[in-house]
Amino acid sequence: MSQLTTMERVGLYGGGALILIGTVGMGLLEIIAGAPHPVSGEGQVVHETLISLSARSYTILLGLLLLAAYGITNLATKPPEDTSI
């Protein structure tokens, strides 16, 4: 197996870290902080978050974009190792 370059490390580790921070990290922070979920007069749950949902979404999206950029550049720049297919 070949060694990873710096750009490959940024794509793989950075993308994976952003996805984990956006899902697990921010989710645990919401649980630990005890974000309230009061019920309105009509019975609807009013979801008040510590971290906005758009910030979580953009963090996860940025991680997915980094992983996609790594995959596309890896596919475009490296020839396949097994050419017998």
Report how far residue 41's alpha carbon sits from residue 45's, in angstroms, rounded to the nearest whole number.
10
0.95 surpassed by pTM: no
Q: Is the pLDDT of residue 1 over 70?
A: no
Two structure tokens written together for 39: 């019920």
Tell me the C-alpha to C-alpha distance, in Å, between residue 68 and each of 31, 59, 62, 79.
30, 14, 10, 18
Does residue 49 contact residue 35 with C-beta atoms inside 8 Å?
yes
Q: What is the pLDDT of residues 23-68, one digit of tens each?
A: 999 989 988 988 777 777 777 777 778 888 899 999 999 999 999 9
Amino acid 54: pLDDT: 93
Amino acid 55: pLDDT: 94
